[in-house]
Chain A
């Protein structure tokens, strides 16, 4: 079975490959894996004022998994956190023309987005909890 041109393009020229420091402000990290094939995907978002200003990924797996995560980072940039949560694996399947046996790669990418958003939110909650005693400085 041949990969679609779009998959090959993302595979040969992956967009936004790399990583941010996990503890950096506004960075959310999602690391997920597909137990069926053993692929591992790391996807990170950098958020400023509720908007995703940058996204990076590192994926160790097949071409479809790499293309799915590469496409996901492209789509994430410029979206609000809310909009990002609405990205569905079926959108990825459609865009990349993935065959049925590779649908789990797009599921993995959706899971990675969700995990990154979760991590970002959790960090935000922890930071605002920590910031509670310092409310007097909030207006600065």
Chain B
């Protein structure tokens, strides 16, 4: 595609800090040292990104939940151009493989951080090491409610339209009402999740990571985990209600 691809592509990210950790401190090809560069300064071969790279670091973003979406897009596009396999079509197999590997990591990072819910899940996954294995109390009230609703759904499914049109209509109305109230509940859960995200970002932006801050962070992570779980249950039942009763 472009014979000078490595040079040209590297130039495009020139205004971004090039401090992504590489898989090794030496060029895999010519063994010269390539600290913090995507391409070896000597032999111009592309370098593999470290497999331990977390997605926030990969996209040059702070570990925050209300993130700068424009920065996310810009960095993603710049790095995509840098590592895009098209630029390596004429290179040797090792370079092709590195380009593919870096691109795969980049795509996974972008897809995860772009979606606000997956972003929270990923953060919990990253931080869970410090919070221990986060276990939340199962929401017993919610389960009771879901089981009751599922039984109502079963009753509705069992009614044939010819048999009991009126009874069917009444049940359908009721199920639609249930769905609306659950959608409200989901909106409330989302609002609470958003509050926790803001709290997390404030702590993250603050100075220090002493025991007190860590405890507060763990508390937020646990709260977020519980909210996400409830959200999954509510989303499922809303989906079932919508599918069956409209």
Contact = CB atoms under 8 A, between A and B. Distances in A.
A35 B144 CA distance: 15
Contacts of A36: 232
B232 A40 contact: no
B144 A31 contact: yes
Which label, helix, strand, loop or mixed, suits the secondary structure of the B interface? helix
A40 B140 contact: no
A37 B232 contact: yes
Contact of B235 (A32, A38, A40): A38
Size bin of chain A's contact surface: 10 to 19
Interface string B225-246: 1001100110110001000000
B147 A58 contact: yes
Interface in A24-40: 31-33, 35-40
B146 A35 contact: no
A115 B139 CA distance: 14
B138 interface: yes
Which label, helix, strand, loop or mixed, suits the secondary structure of the A interface? strand
A60 B144 contact: no
Contacts of A33: 138-139, 143, 229, 233
B232 A32 contact: no
B136 A40 contact: no
Contacts of B146: 40, 60
A33 B138 CA distance: 7
A35 B136 contact: yes
A42 interface: yes
Nearest to B149: A60
B150 interface: yes
Interface of A: 31-33, 35-40, 42, 58, 60
Given A60-B150, A60-B240, 19 more contacts: A31-B140, A31-B144, A31-B147, A32-B138, A33-B138, A33-B139, A33-B233, A35-B225, A35-B229, A35-B232, A36-B232, A38-B235, A40-B143, A40-B146, A40-B150, A42-B143, A58-B147, A60-B146, A60-B147
